[in-house]
């Protein structure tokens, strides 16, 4: 096992990743949980149905460690003590702003406190709350939300629907494409969204009508949370980017394709996207992901990234081995107790044309100031095969080919009552499996 301190340029594997580590929380040691002691992701929670203040917590097995309660015990010192006090608020923003050294110090201390031989097990059990008994809020106050278009497969598939002769526009392989999303409508897993209403102008029509979207879709993405920010006018280099990347979550960028088709030219998505975005409650930290990093390789036949978007470190470990799964649960499935239908399975490494570090470097190259808690979406993470697509637009080829679900129902786009479920986990022969939990959202009917 490599044991190195945290460095601002790279995240090294350290003692917190040791596969031999076990926790006194038995459910963390199953080998199948998303939340072993090697993960320790962060969320904001309270007991479900209570009037308690929301507060920061860390997942361990099927429990949440209450960081406010932990902070009152004064078991930590130095940077870790400062960090846990920053976690005594109703969001992670102040903790995020402390920077990578503080994140790493708290993670190391939590790993020791929760270990199977912890001398503090007795008092710490009083700080644990069963996950089954909690509800979640957004993990951070999201000041800004930017959504990218980082999967070349998704971009190509969508391009073929509208531009068969030129699926990819000339700039795609040179620049990470993105647009400014709506932060106020980002919600946490369990979000219920009314079907959006907007202007639609269908094929052969010259006058638009106001109607509820009939081509409602999802997009399987990952979210990237910014930690410490940068000053206006400054840049974050690609090698500095990991120290500004707090962690990642799952993200569903709901999309009204019929509204989008009418409004997006020339300025891009607006009402077709801003009605709702759902994220998973747990942020898996950048450090926890270290054992699952993979080389970033750009096809030699493609344009190579400009100098500000490339480095030896990004090439060596810029990508991630994250397995992704997308499921749909219809109202009929819930009524009959039927399991959800799996729509696709893929992997971040196979889907992403740009790395998280490249997205941060590009976002700031013009001097844009990112802030703690800002959210970046990767864009739809569609893989190269038909069973690894991340949206119904692609799966049904624009609604031309309905998908048949295991209970006999069919879908071209989402119907009222449909729930979309996203899951993800990381596995490696040299590391313990970790996961992201679940991102779940349901579509409700709307009245005009």
Provide the angle, in degrees to the nearest 10, between the axes of the packed helices 78-86 and 100-113.
Answer: 100
Among the three residues 104, 121, 137, which one is the final residue of a domain in this structure?
A: 137
Asked if the structure places residue 8 within a domain, the reply is no
Return phi, psi of residue 324, to 5°: -120, 140
Question: Average pLDDT over the chain, rounded to whole?
Answer: 95
Residues 414 and 287 in one domain: yes
Domain count, the chain: 2
Asked if the structure places residue 19 within a domain, the reply is yes
Among the three residues 119, 137, 155, which one is the final residue of a domain in this structure?
A: 137
Residues 122 and 267 in one domain: no
Residues 372 and 436 in one domain: yes
Strands annotated E in 71-140: 128-130, 134-137
- Average pLDDT, stretch 376-396? 98
Structure tokens at 258: 């019929």
Asked if the structure places residue 89 within a domain, the reply is yes
CATH code at position 123 = 2.30.30.230
pLDDT tens digits for 152-173? 999 999 999 988 888 999 999 9
Residue 204: what pLDDT?
86
Residue 165: what pLDDT?
87
Residues 6+ apart with CB under 8 A from 51: none
pLDDT tens digits for 392-424? 999 999 999 999 999 999 999 999 999 999 999
CA–CA distance, 380 with 396 (Å, rounded to integer): 15
Residue 13: what pLDDT?
80
What letter does residue 187 receive in the DSSP assignment?
E
Residues 96 and 122 in one domain: yes
Asked if the structure places residue 289 within a domain, the reply is yes
DSSP, collapsed to helix, strand or coil, labels residue 147 as strand
Residues 131 and 155 in one domain: no
Asked if the structure places residue 275 within a domain, the reply is yes
CA–CA distance, 286 with 281 (Å, rounded to integer): 16
Q: Is 124 left (phi over 0), alpha (psi -120 to 50) or beta?
A: alpha
Among the three residues 75, 109, 137, which one is the final residue of a domain in this structure?
A: 137
CA-wise closest residue to 186 among 128, 157, 225? 225
CA-wise closest residue to 159 among 151, 169, 171? 169
Residues 120 and 151 in one domain: no
CA–CA distance, 292 with 431 (Å, rounded to integer): 8
The pairing of beta strand 220-226 with beta strand 245-253:
antiparallel
CATH code at position 342 = 3.90.850.10
Asked if the structure places residue 81 within a domain, the reply is yes
Residues 132 and 149 in one domain: no
Structure tokens at 7: 């460095």
CA–CA distance, 141 with 10 (Å, rounded to integer): 27
Range of the domain at 92: 15-137
Asked if the structure places residue 302 within a domain, the reply is yes
pLDDT tens digits for 275-294? 999 999 999 999 999 999 99
Asked if the structure places residue 264 within a domain, the reply is yes
Q: 230 with 98: CB under 8 angstroms?
A: no
Residues 6+ apart with CB under 8 A from 326: 218, 220, 342, 343, 344, 345, 390, 420, 421, 422
Residues 185 and 108 in one domain: no
- Average pLDDT, stretch 21-37? 98
Residues 114 and 165 in one domain: no
CA–CA distance, 330 with 334 (Å, rounded to integer): 7
Q: How confident is the model at residue 12 (pLDDT cuts 50, 70, 90)?
A: low
Q: Is the pLDDT of residue 129 over 50?
A: yes
Q: Is the pLDDT of residue 2 over 60?
A: no
Residues 304 and 361 in one domain: yes
Residues 121 and 152 in one domain: no
Residues 315 and 356 in one domain: yes
pLDDT tens digits for 177-226? 999 999 999 999 999 999 999 999 988 899 999 999 999 999 999 999 99
Catalytically active residues are: 154
The maximal CA–CA distance of the chain, rounded, in angstroms, is 73
Q: Is the pLDDT of residue 7 over 50?
A: no
Residue 397: what pLDDT?
96
Share of the chain above pLDDT 70, in %: 97
Residue 225: what pLDDT?
98
CA R_g for the chain: 22
Q: Is the pLDDT of residue 21 over 90?
A: yes
**Kind plus residue range of the DSSP H or E element containing 318:** none
CA–CA distance, 79 with 103 (Å, rounded to integer): 9
């Amino acid at each position: 096992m490599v044991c190195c301190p945290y460095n601002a340029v790279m995240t090294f594997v350290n003692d917190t990743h040791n596969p031999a580590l076990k926790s006194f929380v038995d459910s963390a040691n199953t080998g199948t949980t998303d939340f072993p002691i090697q993960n320790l992701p962060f969320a904001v929670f309270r007991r479900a149905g209570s009037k308690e203040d929301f507060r920061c917590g860390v997942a361990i097995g099927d429990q949440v460690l209450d960081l406010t309660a932990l902070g009152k015990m004064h078991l930590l010192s130095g940077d870790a003590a400062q960090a846990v006090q920053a976690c005594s608020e109703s969001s992670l923003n102040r903790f995020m702003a402390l920077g990578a050294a503080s994140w790493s110090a708290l993670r190391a201390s939590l790993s020791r406190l929760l270990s199977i031989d912890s001398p503090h097990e007795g008092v710490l059990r009083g700080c644990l709350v069963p996950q089954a008994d909690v509800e979640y809020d957004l993990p951070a106050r999201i000041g800004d939300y930017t959504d990218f278009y980082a999967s070349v497969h998704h971009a190509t598939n969508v391009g073929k629907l509208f531009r068969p002769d030129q699926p990819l526009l000339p700039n795609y392989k040179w620049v990470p494409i993105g647009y400014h999303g709506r932060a106020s409508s980002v919600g946490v897993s369990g979000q219920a969204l009314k079907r959006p209403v907007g202007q639609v102008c269908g094929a052969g029509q010259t006058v638009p009508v106001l109607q509820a979207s009939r081509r409602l879709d999802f997009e399987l993405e990952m979210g990237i949370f910014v930690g410490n920010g940068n000053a206006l006018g400054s840049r974050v280099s690609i090698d500095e980017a990991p120290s500004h990347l707090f962690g990642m979550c799952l993200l569903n960028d709901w999309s009204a394709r019929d509204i989008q088709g009418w409004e997006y030219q020339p300025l891009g998505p607006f009402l077709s996207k801003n009605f709702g975005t759902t994220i998973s409650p747990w942020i898996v930290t950048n450090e926890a992901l270290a054992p699952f990093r993979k080389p970033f390789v750009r096809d030699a036949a493609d344009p190579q990234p400009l100098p500000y978007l490339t480095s030896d470190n990004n090439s060596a470990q810029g990508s991630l081995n994250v397995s992704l799964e997308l499921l749909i649960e219809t109202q009929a499935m819930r009524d009959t107790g039927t399991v959800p239908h799996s729509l696709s399975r893929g992997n971040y490494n196979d889907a992403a044309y740009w790395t998280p570090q490249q997205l941060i470097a590009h976002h700031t190259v013009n001097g844009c100031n990112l802030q703690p808690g800002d959210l970046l979406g990767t864009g739809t993470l569609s893989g190269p095969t038909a069973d690894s697509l991340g949206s119904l637009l692609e799966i049904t080829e624009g609604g031309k080919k309905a998908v048949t679900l295991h209970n006999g129902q069919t879908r071209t786009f989402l119907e009222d009552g449909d729930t979309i479920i996203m899951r993800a986990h990381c596995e490696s022969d040299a590391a313990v499996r970790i996961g992201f939990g679940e991102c779940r959202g349901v579509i409700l009917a709307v009245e005009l």
